[in-house]
Amino acid sequence: MSPTYPMQQIGAKLVEKGVSIVPIAPREKYPARWDGAWHPLKEWDKYGKRLPSDSDLDAWESWPGCGVGVLPGQLSGIVVVDIDTDDPAMIAAIESITPPSIVRKRGSIGYSGFYRYSGEQTRRFNVVLDGQTSRAVDLLSHGTQCVIPPSQHPSGDFYEWLTPFTLDDTDLAELPTLPDSYADLLVEVLAPWSGDTNAAPGGGDLGEEVVEYDISESEFRELASALGKIPHKDYQHYVNVGMSLREIGVQGLRLWDAWAKDDPKYYDPADPEDYISKKFYGFKCVAGGLTHGTIFKMAKEEGWEPTPLPDYAAELEAGMAAKRRVKKTGLYATRLADLGEFTAPDWVIRKHLTADSLGMLYGPSGAGKSFAALDMGLSVASGRQWQGNDVKKGLVLYVCGEGERGINTRCKAWCKHHDVDPQAVEFHITSQPVPLLDVVRVHELLTVIDDMPAIPVMIIVDTLNRNFGGGDENSTKDMTGFVDGLARLQSMTRAAIFIVHHTGKGEAETARGNSALRAAMDTEMSLFQKPGEILLECTKQKDAAAFPAIGFNMEIITLGHDDEGEEVTSCVMVPSAATKGAQLVQDLAGHRVNHTGNSVRGLGGSQQAALDAVRAKVNKLLIANPGSEFLAIGKKDLAGDLEKAIDKREASRMVKEFLLPSGIIKDCEGFNYEISHAKLLEFSGVT
């Protein structure tokens, strides 16, 4: 059974990272304990000095609906900037000196950003806005705690992360640090709202170094109920109540003021509000001293009974058949019988690419890799079968290594060829490459994804080289970092991540770079020029059978005309005669495709060699120059290609007795032959 409560989901993972935590009651903001009902947890701040033990975690994980609060400071290695205002000008002022964090959570208003600890102390910044005292921002460090997702908010909703990265799955070393003298910078930018150049409302300096504990509305009501049972005694008793409430700041002042009014003995009749405010802010919070928990103790001595909190997690607990304890190391074992039923592959392209996977297409420069990747991606985005295989229709993101203009032309050509309305295709293209070695840029890409209308089912990275970053493809460290970037995209989207890559130098037929890349792939495909076609082959399929090879040829698509009346063209990949299979194989005037031999029946061996040589040349021309209107082959080049397969005399005969008479080529009375693309397709059996 999967972990149900927030503490079960993330508690042990945070402690494993060295982040100290405390249990939080569901729909509350304060540390609490469970003994059949929820009550405030005394001396919770001790976990700011030591991490919770295994026995602590065991107990907390058994408490129904238990949420998680993290304790910033030196022990945990983090600090939190809690922006608690919705005033745009004030937020802009704060953000002008605050670096963006890759981990942020949503607040009732504003948000909280998480940073690497570098000696910061807890500071609270109250301001005057529209004549009212309000809190602008808190710098949370020692002596504080911060409730994090997926704990339950007092409203009944659940806390949410604003960023794809979360505190429990982020390496703390990746968190940014705050500028030096950050608190002083906050004082400076918040000065226009301070009401007084050097003072903050409540009697303390703006940015005073205090430890104030934030309580929820329900705990405020519970404290008010407890105070109602505490009688007025002597002056020291009066002071002890105030000191006990000091740690909760403005809320404590409200409670002390309301309680003290019932016995005006210690009020200044001339200015009671100013008197009690100065007295209250004159108290100092002392670790191990009086706390608001002391109020509950005083009240119980007078016969007060706390109000049991509703068990908001009862329905969650009822749905939990068994508890699975996740150890601090994250290591556990599962019985075979508990692994569940067999699950069929979740295909994005049936038999070729699965969801939540890493895949790669590699080949030499000019082989047509981008055309093949676009063909796959546009098929998925449009819901159209790819090479006779069903697809999982969904949004596709194309991380573009080159300009959008060229990709746009190719996509428009694909849509025209397949009669697909571009407006109906959720195919998104980035404006620039993304160096996936850079964790900040990966986060930026995830933020872009978060703003899309849906999570992508496929992400194409074209090419690895253009999206690698400033590393070395042959370095194990750098390639592992790149794969980690891909894995981050995969884990956050569960998409099929599909990268386009080059082969090595010379005649190499393997992917370029460190072997860590291939080891990480679930699916690997190669694309090479072969006689008469471009051949896509499966070189690795981790969890399924390898798919059969597929052959392609390039076909010119006319999109329109430019300002001077010249045709604007691009290309699409169409199945070659040798691989059309059940979809496209048909008899044409005695010609029939032989898939295994890649030949056309009705042609002799020399004729087939001549036809293959011309087709190979056309494929290269169309990939290199997709907008070309004139296809030509050098006479010497053709002769050289033919002589590699047949002897010189037979090569000359094939030009004179087959290629020229058939209309496949036309003599230009110069150094070249013009190629008839239509005749070539006709002899290839493509309709």
pLDDT tens digit sequence for 359-370:
999 999 888 999
The tens digit of pLDDT for each residue in 228-259 reads 899 988 888 888 898 888 877 777 888 888 88
- CA distances in angstroms from 11 to 154, 327, 416, listed in the order given: 20, 10, 53
Higher pLDDT: 349 or 263? It is 349
pLDDT for residue 214 is more than 80 = no
Nearest-10 Cα torsion for 656, 658, 663, 666: -30
Residues with Cβ < 8 Å from 376, sequence gap 6 or more? 349, 352, 353, 386, 458, 460, 498
Beta strands in 601-659, from DSSP E residues, in sequence order: 632-634
Average pLDDT score over residue span 661-676: 81
Q: Out of 207-216, 248-257, 546-555, 665-674, which region has the weakest mean confidence (pLDDT)?
A: 207-216
Alpha-carbon 601 to chain mean position: 52
CA torsion angle 395 398 399 400 (round to 10): -150
Q: Which amino acid is at 658?
A: F
Tell me which of 528 and 613 has the higher pLDDT.
528
Which segment, 234-238, 418-422, 602-606, is predicted with the most confidence on average? 418-422
Question: pLDDT-derived band of residue 195, with 50, 70 and 90 as boundaries?
Answer: low
Identify the top-confidence range among 124-128, 226-230, 335-339, 523-527.
523-527
pLDDT of residue 342: 74
Split at pLDDT 50, 70, 90, the class of 602 is: low
So what's the pLDDT on residue 587? Answer: 32
CA geometry: angle 508, 509, 511, nearest 5 deg? 95
> Average of pLDDT values for 629-636?
74
pLDDT attached to residue 583: 41
Between 327 and 211, where is the model more confident?
A: 211
Of 410-424, 519-533, 663-677, give the lowest mean pLDDT range.
663-677
Quote the CA–CA distance of 224 and 262 in Å, as a whole number: 13
> 523 or 163: which carries more pLDDT confidence?
523
Structure tokens at 354: 């699965």
* pLDDT confidence bin for 687, thresholds 50/70/90: very low
- Residue type, position 194, single letter: S
Closest CA to 642 of 599, 615, 613: 613
Q: In whole angstroms, give the CA distance from residue 102 to residue 593.
A: 56
Closest CA to 359 of 223, 551, 207, 495: 495
Chain centre to alpha carbon of residue 479: 19
pLDDT tens, residue by residue, 35-79: 888 888 878 888 988 999 988 999 999 999 999 999 999 999 999
pLDDT band at 421 (very low <50, low <70, confident <90, very high): very high
Provide the residue count of the chain: 687
Task: Give yes or no for residue 460 having a pLDDT over 90.
Answer: yes
* pLDDT at residue 205 tops 60: no
Token output for 188: 């400076």
pLDDT of residue 619: 74
Residue 172: what residue type? L
Strands 32-34, 104-106: pairing is: unpaired
DSSP 158: B
**Which has more confidence, 425 or 284?**
425
pLDDT at position 685, please? 54
- Give the list of residues 6+ apart from residue 325 with CB closer than 8 angstroms, or none: 58, 61, 332
Please report which confidence band the pLDDT of residue 580 belongs to, taking 50, 70 and 90 as the band edges: low
Given a cut of 80, whether residue 264 has pLDDT beyond it is no
pLDDT at position 543: 83
What distance in Å separates the CA atoms of residue 385 and residue 366, rounded to the nearest whole number? 26
Task: Tell me which residue of 256, 257, 263 sits closest to 233, measured CA to CA.
Answer: 263
Give the pLDDT confidence score for residue 285 in this predicted structure. Answer: 60
Would you say 628 and 622 are in contact if contact means Cβ atoms under 8 Å apart? yes
Please give the pLDDT value at position 471: 86
Q: Band of the pLDDT at 320, cuts 50, 70, 90?
A: very low
Q: Whole-angstrom Cα distance, residue 272 to residue 258?
A: 12
Q: Which residue has the higher pLDDT, 461 or 282?
A: 461
pLDDT at 630 over 70: no
* AA identity, residue 335: R
Over range 380-394, report the average pLDDT. Answer: 92
Residue 670 predicted with pLDDT over 60 = yes
Peptide bond into 463 cis (omega under 30): yes
Asked whether the predicted pLDDT for residue 412 surpasses 70, the reply is: yes
Q: By the 8 A CB rule, do 396 and 457 touch? A: yes
Q: Are 662 and 589 in contact (CB under 8 A)?
A: no
pLDDT of 20 reads 95
Question: Which pLDDT does position 450 carry in this prediction?
Answer: 84
Residue 679 reports pLDDT greater than 80: no
More reliable by pLDDT, 213 or 337: 337
The residue with greater pLDDT, 672 or 315, is 672
Encoded tokens for 229: 């049972």
Query: Average pLDDT in the 486-504 region?
Result: 90
| pLDDT of 521 over the 60 cut | yes
Asked if residue 625 has pLDDT above 50, the reply is yes
What digits encode the pLDDT tens for the residues 280-300? 777 766 545 677 778 888 999
Q: How far apart are CA 127 and CA 207, in angstroms?
A: 10
**181 and 207 Cβ atoms separated by less than 8 Å:** no
Average pLDDT in the chain: 81
Quote the percentage of the chain above a pLDDT of 70.
82
- 298 vs 277, which has greater pLDDT? 298
Rounded distance, CA 365 to CA 393, Å? Answer: 30
**Is the per-residue pLDDT at 498 higher than 60?**
yes
Q: How confident is the model at residue 125 (pLDDT cuts 50, 70, 90)?
A: confident
pLDDT for res 628: 54
State the pLDDT confidence band at 216, using cuts at 50, 70 and 90. low
Q: Facing residues of 32 across strands?
A: 40
Residue 624, Cβ density class (10 Å: 0-12 exposed, 13-18 middle, ≥19 buried): exposed
